[in-house]
Amino acid sequence: MLRVPKLCRPRPGVSFLSSAASPSAHNFSFSGCGFLIPYHLGVAQGLKDAGFIQSSSKFAGASGGAIAALSLAANSSMTDILYETKAMAELCHSQGTIWKLEERLRAIFHTKFGDLPVGTLAQRLTIATEKLWPARIQVMTDDFHSSDDLCDALIASCYVPWYLAQRGTSLFRGEYHVDGGLFTLVPEVPGYVKVCAFHGHMLRRDDYDISPSIDPEFPYSIVQLARFALFPPELEVLDELYELGKKSAGIWADKQKSK
């Protein structure tokens, strides 16, 4: 008797497309974002789910985007970083935001990334900062000497003058730096897909591949997003931004697969 094998029931999230149709690994550059970082985390999770982020993918970021890039390069859980973001937002709601973020960011860094071997990040993570002296220039750092060096790079990349702490600049490798997204919102890395937490079309940047502009039903204006970036909204909004990021990533992924 001819035995016919039973068909396997597809598991959720598993595709039986041929390998030729499988997404290829892409590299991504994340904009400055402040407390809009849940949008980036949602985008990251959506891209992972869609198969566009793989072990060979590389990441760049400025300001809050640098945190998202580090989280991806370190293979961290996006929901874990979302949880830390919400915990920090709660502290800001109860204790204030201005001048208090540097200490909190350093504490979170050492909790989540303090034991990370920085050698594993070589050439996979690029953090953008803005050096101010003797001439203003964007610095792209992709090699880190130690955990403290990585932390200093991250703080410098997030350093909005007189907002993160009571200083105008942050010291990184003996030089004065500020937020890497102040003058160049999305780090320019050749071949990287650009992800922006603000509406790309409102900024007249058609080269921002993934942004709220990709979703015609995105509920927040660029003015609202700017306010959320500096002063964290309610936790429900942060959760919503995460889901909106996943949706934006899904829209972009579908466009790539249809090409």
Q: With b meaning 16 or more CB within 10 Å and e meaning fewer, what string describes 18-55?
A: eeeeebeebbbbbbbbbbbbbbbbbbbbbbbebbbbee
Q: Give me the number of domains the chain comprises.
A: 1
Partners of 175 in beta bridges = 172
Name the average pLDDT for the chain: 92
Coil, strand, or helix at residue 212? Answer: helix
Lowest mean pLDDT, pick from 6-15, 66-75, 218-227: 6-15
pTM exceeding 0.85: yes
Do 179 and 63 meet the contact criterion of CB atoms below 8 Å apart?
A: yes
21 pLDDT band (50/70/90 cuts)?
A: low
Residue 54 pLDDT > 70, yes or no?
yes
CA 49 to CA 246: how far, in whole Å? 9
Residue with tokens 């001819």: 2
Residues 59-69: tens digit of each pLDDT: 999 999 999 99
CB atoms near residue 56 (< 10 Å): 10
Residues 177-200: tens digit of each pLDDT: 999 999 999 999 999 999 999 999
Question: Residue 16's pLDDT is what?
Answer: 33
What's the distance, CA 235 to chain centroid? 18
* Residue 103 domain flag: yes
* Residue 145 domain flag: no
* Residue 249 domain flag: yes
* Residue 196 domain flag: yes
Residues known to be catalytic: 63, 179
* Residue 239 domain flag: yes
258 pLDDT band (50/70/90 cuts)?
A: confident
* Residue 220 domain flag: yes
Domain of 253?
25-127+185-257
Residues 104-148: tens digit of each pLDDT: 999 999 999 999 999 999 889 999 999 999 899 999 999 999 999
* Residue 152 domain flag: no
* Residue 173 domain flag: no
Residue with tokens 């989280």: 71
